[in-house]
Amino acid sequence: MEIIDRVDKLEVVLEQSGNKDTIRHQILALQVHLSKIYKENQELLQLDRLVVEHGLKNNLFKEQEKETKDSVEYEIKKRVVLLKEPAIKEAYNNYMQLASLDTNRLINYIESSQDKVYNFNDIYVHIQQRKGELKAISEKVYLLTLKSMVVLEKYVNLMNQENKFWLDSNEKLRQLSIKVNQLEKARSSRY
């Protein structure tokens, strides 16, 4: 996963610079260029060795890496925001509609309409009266579900057996065909 992230970051950096070459091609070109620089300037090899030996590499490039990393992360975030733009706009519109609602009036309307339409006490009493029936129905549904699963399993096993039968039959036919062809060749070679 780390390599993919690094390649993505490289692509963003390369897109910023306007280069259209592939990353692999650019890396190879940079390696060739670096080798050429080291061949022309042998003292750079010595300097590079000293930097690595004394642990100065991290200090020298820390700021540059941080700036590059920040710009790459910014570009990735910008891409994600652009990809998510339709969803962001829709969410913003929904938020604006919710913000413009008069919540007190809405709550009062809901409370008053529920009082007029629904009598929750009657519904509760009705559910309590039919509790036994509901429990029996749910048990039957559970049993039917289990039986359906058993039937499905048997069906799958039957299909597997049938597939095996046809595969075996095809294999036997293939072997018989090979034997018949061999017998015909043997018979034709005798005559």
Position 166 scores a pLDDT of 93
Mean pLDDT by 10 residues, the chain (191 residues): 69 62 72 82 75 65 64 76 80 76 71 63 80 87 91 92 93 94 88 69
pTM of the model: 0.32
Greatest CA separation for the chain: 105
Q: What does each C-alpha distance from 55 to 8, 47, 52, 59, 141 come to in angstroms?
A: 29, 12, 5, 8, 72
pLDDT value at residue 167: 93
The confidence score (pLDDT) of residue 82 equals 77
Q: What's the one-letter identity of residue 148?
A: S
What CA dihedral angle connects 77, 82, 87 and 89, to 10 degrees? 110
Sketch the domain layout of the chain as residue ranges.
2-87, 93-125, 133-190
